[in-house]
Amino acid sequence: MKLMLVEFTELYAKEICDWKYDGEYSIYNYPEWDKAFDEKWAITIEEKRKKEFSAVVDDYNNLCGYIRLQKKDEYILIGVGLKPSLCGQGLGNTIMKIVKQQCRELYPNKKIALEVRSFNERAIKCYKRAGFKVKGIYEKDTPIGHGEFIRMEFGS
């Protein structure tokens, strides 16, 4: 399956709000669109969608995932989401290559960082395979709940 980045439209954002992960991964479920919109989640704000997000689609423009690149002073904070039905099929490796390439093109002199919940061993393995190194473990509150996180970095 060939994956590519395209504009992250409101239609794609609404589709992501319908994705449902099972078990412990359900922490990653977005609220319904209307609730996310009322609470001003980043995917509902057009300016943020255009500036920070890209949709990951297949050859037929089916939404497979998304990436988010947030420019910080010292680094680019990345976020990655994969459609629940596609998890565990090795597509994370492809998406991580796409993320690193996009960061090199847009922010060539910045470190790449990410945060991942510590229970998410599947994602952590994927990030390590992509060359990310663990830099710290900490707890924090997020809009989707409190948790323990691992910070990982790639690059100089």
Nearby residues of 132 by Cβ (< 8 Å), 6 or more positions away: 112, 114, 152, 153, 154
Nearby residues of 123 by Cβ (< 8 Å), 6 or more positions away: 80, 92, 116
- pLDDT tens digits, residue range 45-102? 999 999 999 999 999 999 999 999 999 999 999 999 999 999 988 899 999 999 999 9
pLDDT at residue 1, as a whole number: 79
Asked if the model's pLDDT at residue 156 lies above 70, the reply is no
Here the contacts of 67-70 (C-beta below 8 Å, separation 24 or greater) are: 67/5, 67/95, 67/98, 67/99, 67/102, 68/42, 69/99, 69/102, 69/103, 69/106, 69/107
- Fill in the DSSP letter of residue 95: H
Asked if the model's pLDDT at residue 20 lies above 60, the reply is yes
CATH architecture label of 4-154:
3-Layer(aba) Sandwich (3.40)
Shortest CA distance to 117 belongs to which of 36, 25, 52, 16?
A: 25
State the pLDDT confidence band at 145, using cuts at 50, 70 and 90.
confident
Lowest mean pLDDT among 16-25, 42-51, 144-153: 144-153
